[in-house]
Protein backbone atom coordinates (compact mmCIF):
# COMPACT_ATOMS: atom_id res chain seq x y z
CA UNK A 1 0.00 0.00 0.00
CA UNK A 2 1.19 3.51 -0.83
CA UNK A 3 0.68 6.68 1.16
CA UNK A 4 0.93 10.37 0.42
CA UNK A 5 2.80 12.80 2.66
CA UNK A 6 1.57 16.40 2.33
CA UNK A 7 3.53 19.39 3.64
CA UNK A 8 1.64 22.65 4.17
CA UNK A 9 3.52 25.74 5.35
CA UNK A 10 2.29 28.82 7.12
CA UNK A 11 3.20 31.46 4.55
CA UNK A 12 3.45 34.16 7.19
CA UNK A 13 6.38 32.26 8.69
CA UNK A 14 8.07 32.04 5.30
CA UNK A 15 7.77 29.92 2.14
CA UNK A 16 8.20 26.19 1.91
CA UNK A 17 11.33 25.94 -0.21
CA UNK A 18 12.40 23.40 -2.79
CA UNK A 19 15.13 22.36 -0.36
CA UNK A 20 12.60 21.86 2.48
CA UNK A 21 10.41 19.64 0.32
CA UNK A 22 13.32 17.64 -1.11
CA UNK A 23 14.79 17.09 2.35
CA UNK A 24 11.45 15.86 3.65
CA UNK A 25 11.06 13.49 0.69
CA UNK A 26 14.54 12.06 1.19
CA UNK A 27 14.02 11.71 4.95
CA UNK A 28 10.91 9.60 4.26
CA UNK A 29 12.46 7.68 1.33
CA UNK A 30 9.71 9.20 -0.77
CA UNK A 31 9.20 9.59 -4.49
CA UNK A 32 7.48 11.82 -7.03
CA UNK A 33 7.57 15.23 -5.39
CA UNK A 34 4.64 17.35 -6.57
CA UNK A 35 3.75 20.95 -5.73
CA UNK A 36 0.13 21.82 -4.91
CA UNK A 37 0.92 25.48 -4.28
CA UNK A 38 4.28 27.08 -4.99
CA UNK A 39 6.07 27.94 -1.78
CA UNK A 40 3.21 26.61 0.33
CA UNK A 41 2.21 22.98 -0.22
CA UNK A 42 3.96 19.93 -1.63
CA UNK A 43 3.39 16.17 -1.58
CA UNK A 44 5.22 12.94 -2.29
CA UNK A 45 4.54 9.19 -2.22
CA UNK A 46 5.91 6.85 0.46
CA UNK A 47 5.59 3.11 1.06
CA UNK A 48 5.47 3.35 4.85
CA UNK A 49 3.88 5.86 7.20
CA UNK A 50 6.65 8.13 8.51
CA UNK A 51 7.04 9.51 12.01
CA UNK A 52 5.39 12.93 11.62
CA UNK A 53 6.98 14.38 14.76
CA UNK A 54 10.48 13.43 13.58
CA UNK A 55 9.79 14.78 10.11
CA UNK A 56 8.68 18.13 11.52
CA UNK A 57 11.84 18.26 13.65
CA UNK A 58 14.20 17.81 10.70
CA UNK A 59 12.49 20.44 8.56
CA UNK A 60 14.23 23.80 8.52
CA UNK A 61 10.81 25.46 8.23
CA UNK A 62 9.24 25.06 11.67
CA UNK A 63 5.69 26.14 10.81
CA UNK A 64 4.69 23.25 8.59
CA UNK A 65 1.73 20.94 9.07
CA UNK A 66 2.30 17.37 7.88
CA UNK A 67 -0.50 15.05 6.78
CA UNK A 68 -0.35 11.41 5.80
CA UNK A 69 -3.16 9.77 3.84
CA UNK A 70 -3.62 6.69 1.72
CA UNK A 71 -2.75 7.10 -1.95
CA UNK A 72 -6.14 5.88 -3.13
CA UNK A 73 -9.43 7.65 -2.39
CA UNK A 74 -7.90 10.92 -1.27
CA UNK A 75 -10.76 13.20 -2.26
CA UNK A 76 -13.58 12.71 0.19
CA UNK A 77 -17.30 12.55 -0.57
CA UNK A 78 -18.44 13.71 2.87
CA UNK A 79 -17.13 16.47 5.14
CA UNK A 80 -18.28 16.66 8.75
CA UNK A 81 -17.11 19.74 10.64
CA UNK A 82 -17.42 20.91 14.22
CA UNK A 83 -18.36 24.58 14.57
CA UNK A 84 -16.95 26.23 17.70
CA UNK A 85 -13.20 26.87 17.54
CA UNK A 86 -13.14 25.02 14.20
CA UNK A 87 -15.32 26.81 11.65
CA UNK A 88 -15.76 29.89 13.86
CA UNK A 89 -12.97 31.31 15.99
CA UNK A 90 -14.81 31.28 19.32
CA UNK A 91 -16.85 29.07 21.63
CA UNK A 92 -20.22 30.69 20.99
CA UNK A 93 -21.66 29.59 24.35
CA UNK A 94 -18.80 31.31 26.16
CA UNK A 95 -19.35 34.49 24.15
CA UNK A 96 -23.08 34.36 24.85
CA UNK A 97 -22.31 33.99 28.56
CA UNK A 98 -20.44 37.29 28.46
CA UNK A 99 -23.81 39.06 28.17
CA UNK A 100 -24.83 37.45 31.46
CA UNK A 101 -21.55 38.44 33.11
CA UNK A 102 -20.61 34.75 33.33
CA UNK A 103 -18.04 34.28 30.60
CA UNK A 104 -15.12 33.28 32.82
CA UNK A 105 -17.17 30.81 34.87
CA UNK A 106 -18.76 29.17 31.86
CA UNK A 107 -15.56 29.21 29.80
CA UNK A 108 -13.80 27.27 32.57
CA UNK A 109 -16.44 24.53 32.33
CA UNK A 110 -16.22 24.57 28.54
CA UNK A 111 -12.45 24.10 28.62
CA UNK A 112 -12.73 21.09 30.94
CA UNK A 113 -15.46 19.56 28.80
CA UNK A 114 -13.53 20.05 25.55
CA UNK A 115 -10.51 18.35 27.08
CA UNK A 116 -12.60 15.37 28.16
CA UNK A 117 -12.47 16.11 31.88
CA UNK A 118 -16.26 16.47 32.25
CA UNK A 119 -19.13 14.55 30.64
CA UNK A 120 -20.32 16.74 27.74
CA UNK A 121 -24.12 16.51 28.20
CA UNK A 122 -23.83 17.24 31.92
CA UNK A 123 -21.53 20.18 31.29
CA UNK A 124 -23.85 21.57 28.61
CA UNK A 125 -26.94 21.40 30.81
CA UNK A 126 -25.03 23.05 33.67
CA UNK A 127 -23.83 25.92 31.52
CA UNK A 128 -27.19 26.53 29.86
CA UNK A 129 -28.93 26.55 33.25
CA UNK A 130 -26.69 29.43 34.29
CA UNK A 131 -28.08 31.51 31.40
CA UNK A 132 -31.71 31.37 32.55
CA UNK A 133 -33.36 34.76 32.04
CA UNK A 134 -30.85 36.01 29.46
CA UNK A 135 -32.52 38.13 26.77
CA UNK A 136 -32.74 36.62 23.30
CA UNK A 137 -31.14 39.80 21.99
CA UNK A 138 -27.86 38.46 23.40
CA UNK A 139 -27.98 35.70 20.82
CA UNK A 140 -28.16 38.21 17.98
CA UNK A 141 -25.35 40.29 19.45
CA UNK A 142 -23.19 37.20 19.84
CA UNK A 143 -23.84 36.20 16.24
CA UNK A 144 -22.94 39.70 15.09
CA UNK A 145 -19.50 39.30 16.68
CA UNK A 146 -18.82 35.79 15.37
CA UNK A 147 -15.86 35.43 12.98
CA UNK A 148 -15.12 32.54 10.63
CA UNK A 149 -11.81 30.73 10.89
CA UNK A 150 -9.37 31.42 8.04
CA UNK A 151 -9.98 29.14 5.09
CA UNK A 152 -13.49 28.07 6.12
CA UNK A 153 -15.25 29.70 3.18
CA UNK A 154 -12.79 28.30 0.65
CA UNK A 155 -12.94 24.83 2.17
CA UNK A 156 -16.71 24.54 1.92
CA UNK A 157 -17.00 26.19 -1.50
CA UNK A 158 -14.32 23.96 -2.99
CA UNK A 159 -15.62 20.69 -1.58
CA UNK A 160 -19.16 21.48 -2.69
CA UNK A 161 -17.91 22.42 -6.15
CA UNK A 162 -16.35 18.98 -6.45
CA UNK A 163 -19.49 17.23 -5.28
CA UNK A 164 -18.92 16.56 -1.59
CA UNK A 165 -21.70 16.62 1.00
CA UNK A 166 -20.78 19.17 3.67
CA UNK A 167 -22.24 19.00 7.18
CA UNK A 168 -21.84 21.26 10.20
CA UNK A 169 -22.49 19.19 13.33
CA UNK A 170 -22.00 20.94 16.65
CA UNK A 171 -22.49 20.45 20.35
CA UNK A 172 -23.38 24.14 20.27
CA UNK A 173 -26.70 25.57 19.20
CA UNK A 174 -28.90 25.61 16.11
CA UNK A 175 -29.25 29.39 16.42
CA UNK A 176 -25.63 29.66 15.35
CA UNK A 177 -25.18 26.59 13.14
CA UNK A 178 -28.11 27.61 10.93
CA UNK A 179 -26.54 31.01 10.33
CA UNK A 180 -23.05 29.65 9.76
CA UNK A 181 -24.39 27.03 7.35
CA UNK A 182 -26.36 29.64 5.40
CA UNK A 183 -23.38 31.99 5.18
CA UNK A 184 -20.78 29.39 4.17
CA UNK A 185 -22.98 27.03 2.17
CA UNK A 186 -23.01 23.86 4.28
CA UNK A 187 -25.57 21.36 2.98
CA UNK A 188 -26.60 20.22 6.46
CA UNK A 189 -26.41 21.61 9.97
CA UNK A 190 -27.22 19.95 13.27
CA UNK A 191 -26.78 21.11 16.83
CA UNK A 192 -28.56 21.49 20.16
CA UNK A 193 -31.59 23.72 20.62
CA UNK A 194 -31.75 26.41 23.30
CA UNK A 195 -35.24 26.74 24.77
CA UNK A 196 -36.84 30.13 25.37
CA UNK A 197 -40.16 31.71 26.41
CA UNK A 198 -40.28 34.13 23.51
CA UNK A 199 -38.15 36.80 25.12
CA UNK A 200 -35.63 35.06 27.40
CA UNK A 201 -33.74 31.80 27.68
CA UNK A 202 -35.40 29.30 30.03
CA UNK A 203 -32.09 27.78 31.11
CA UNK A 204 -32.90 24.53 29.33
CA UNK A 205 -31.73 22.74 26.23
CA UNK A 206 -33.87 20.38 24.19
CA UNK A 207 -33.24 16.68 24.63
CA UNK A 208 -31.57 14.54 23.49
CA UNK A 209 -28.22 16.30 23.64
CA UNK A 210 -26.14 16.21 20.48
CA UNK A 211 -22.86 14.80 21.77
CA UNK A 212 -19.87 12.82 20.50
CA UNK A 213 -22.01 9.74 19.83
CA UNK A 214 -24.45 11.80 17.77
CA UNK A 215 -21.59 13.23 15.72
CA UNK A 216 -20.29 9.75 15.00
CA UNK A 217 -23.81 8.58 14.12
CA UNK A 218 -24.16 11.49 11.70
CA UNK A 219 -20.89 10.56 10.01
CA UNK A 220 -22.12 7.01 9.51
CA UNK A 221 -25.54 8.23 8.34
CA UNK A 222 -24.18 10.62 5.73
CA UNK A 223 -21.71 8.06 4.40
CA UNK A 224 -24.55 5.55 4.03
CA UNK A 225 -26.73 8.10 2.24
CA UNK A 226 -23.92 8.81 -0.21
CA UNK A 227 -23.33 5.08 -0.64
CA UNK A 228 -19.68 5.35 0.42
CA UNK A 229 -17.54 3.76 3.08
CA UNK A 230 -16.16 5.74 6.02
CA UNK A 231 -12.85 5.77 4.15
CA UNK A 232 -14.46 8.37 1.86
CA UNK A 233 -15.23 10.78 4.71
CA UNK A 234 -13.38 13.71 6.22
CA UNK A 235 -13.96 15.03 9.74
CA UNK A 236 -12.45 18.06 11.45
CA UNK A 237 -12.77 19.30 15.01
CA UNK A 238 -10.89 20.39 18.09
CA UNK A 239 -12.43 18.97 21.26
CA UNK A 240 -13.09 15.69 23.08
CA UNK A 241 -16.64 15.80 21.73
CA UNK A 242 -15.15 15.37 18.23
CA UNK A 243 -12.75 12.54 18.96
CA UNK A 244 -15.00 9.62 17.97
CA UNK A 245 -15.78 11.06 14.53
CA UNK A 246 -12.15 12.05 13.95
CA UNK A 247 -10.98 8.52 14.67
CA UNK A 248 -13.70 6.92 12.51
CA UNK A 249 -13.38 9.13 9.43
CA UNK A 250 -11.23 8.17 6.48
CA UNK A 251 -9.34 11.40 7.14
CA UNK A 252 -9.76 12.82 10.62
CA UNK A 253 -7.98 16.11 11.25
CA UNK A 254 -7.58 17.86 14.59
CA UNK A 255 -7.77 21.64 14.19
CA UNK A 256 -5.68 23.58 16.74
CA UNK A 257 -6.91 20.86 19.07
CA UNK A 258 -7.22 20.42 22.79
CA UNK A 259 -4.41 18.25 24.27
CA UNK A 260 -6.58 15.13 24.69
CA UNK A 261 -7.42 15.25 20.97
CA UNK A 262 -3.96 16.18 19.70
CA UNK A 263 -2.53 13.19 21.57
CA UNK A 264 -4.78 10.76 19.69
CA UNK A 265 -5.06 12.20 16.17
CA UNK A 266 -1.89 12.20 14.06
CA UNK A 267 -3.19 14.46 11.25
CA UNK A 268 -3.32 17.92 12.82
CA UNK A 269 -3.59 21.54 11.71
CA UNK A 270 -1.36 23.43 14.11
CA UNK A 271 0.30 26.11 11.99
CA UNK A 272 -1.94 26.68 8.97
CA UNK A 273 -5.63 27.22 8.19
CA UNK A 274 -8.58 25.16 6.98
CA UNK A 275 -7.42 25.17 3.36
CA UNK A 276 -4.85 22.62 4.54
CA UNK A 277 -7.74 20.13 4.42
CA UNK A 278 -7.94 20.71 0.67
CA UNK A 279 -4.23 20.21 0.19
CA UNK A 280 -4.44 17.02 2.26
CA UNK A 281 -6.94 15.70 -0.29
CA UNK A 282 -4.67 16.59 -3.20
CA UNK A 283 -6.48 19.71 -4.41
CA UNK A 284 -4.02 22.23 -5.89
CA UNK A 285 -4.60 25.87 -4.96
CA UNK A 286 -5.43 26.60 -8.62
CA UNK A 287 -8.83 24.89 -8.21
CA UNK A 288 -9.83 26.50 -4.91
CA UNK A 289 -13.24 28.17 -4.93
CA UNK A 290 -14.77 30.92 -2.80
CA UNK A 291 -13.20 34.04 -1.44
CA UNK A 292 -12.27 34.72 2.14
CA UNK A 293 -14.04 37.70 3.74
Burial of 178 (0-12, 13-18, 19+ CB in 10 A): middle
Annotated catalytic residue 196: no
Annotated catalytic residue 82: yes
Instruction: Residue count of the chain, please give it.
Output: 293
Separation between Cα atoms, residue 112 and residue 236, nearest integer Å: 20
The active-site residue out of 20, 65, 84, 94 is 84
Residue 2 sits at φ, ψ, to 5 deg, of: -105, 150
- SS3 state of residue 122: helix
Residue 145 sits at φ, ψ, to 5 deg, of: -100, 0
The long-range contacts involving 185-188, CB below 8 angstroms and separated by at least 24 positions, are 185/156, 185/157, 185/160, 186/81, 186/156, 187/160, 188/222
Task: Give the DSSP letter of residue 216.
Answer: H
User: Would you give the end-to-end CA distance of the chain in angstroms?
Assistant: 40
Separation between Cα atoms, residue 267 and residue 70, nearest integer Å: 12
Burial of 89 (0-12, 13-18, 19+ CB in 10 A): middle
Instruction: State the angle between helix axes of 174-184 and 137-144 in degrees (0 to 180), rounded to the nearest 10.
Output: 40
The active-site residue out of 82, 94, 238, 273 is 82
The long-range contacts involving 217-222, CB below 8 angstroms and separated by at least 24 positions, are 218/80, 218/167, 218/169, 218/190, 218/245, 219/78, 219/80, 219/245, 219/248, 219/249, 220/248, 222/78, 222/80, 222/165, 222/167, 222/188
Active site members? 82, 84
Amino acid sequence: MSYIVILVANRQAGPLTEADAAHAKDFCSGQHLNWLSAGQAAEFIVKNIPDIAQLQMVLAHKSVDVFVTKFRGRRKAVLLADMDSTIVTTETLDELAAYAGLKDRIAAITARSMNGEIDFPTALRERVAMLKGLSLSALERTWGETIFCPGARTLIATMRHFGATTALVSGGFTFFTARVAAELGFDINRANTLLDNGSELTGEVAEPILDRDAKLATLNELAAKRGVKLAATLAVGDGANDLAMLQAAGLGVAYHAKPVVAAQVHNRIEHTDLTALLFAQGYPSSVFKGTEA
